[in-house]
Structure 1
Amino acid sequence: MIFRASTQIHGASATFLNSPAPLTQDPELAAKMQDYWISFVKTMDPNGGKNDSSGVQRQMWPKY
């Protein structure tokens, strides 16, 4: 379900997180987002994994 919430669209990340990379307009971004989510689920820290699926070190996600 997608609905507008102010200037953001809730559900806009669904294509990047829930689809195989070829279905997205930006497969590299999709892979990075999936890696952050997987690290967060496994370790409760999006920075839990050291490298993304391409082997490049990810940018550090700052603590909120």
Structure 2
Amino acid sequence: MRIEEYREPSWPRPRATDLNSALTETTRRRLGEELQALYEPVIDEPLDPRLAELMKQLEADRDR
């Protein structure tokens, strides 16, 4: 799928306030810890040079 073809989902998205009230503080904290543990090894991996170049181009386009 090309980016131009992307459409937002038709179902209603939950509002942030709805999500916050549905999760307890303990659940939010545990979820955050689990996500951090899951993604921490990925953060330390080197970025693919092609992706790094694309990101530089996007930033340059945004600064124009």
TM-score, structure 1 as length reference: 0.30
Structure (1 or 2) with the greater helix fraction: 2
TM-score, structure 2 as length reference: 0.30
Q: Which has the higher contact order (CA 8 A, sep 6+)?
A: 1
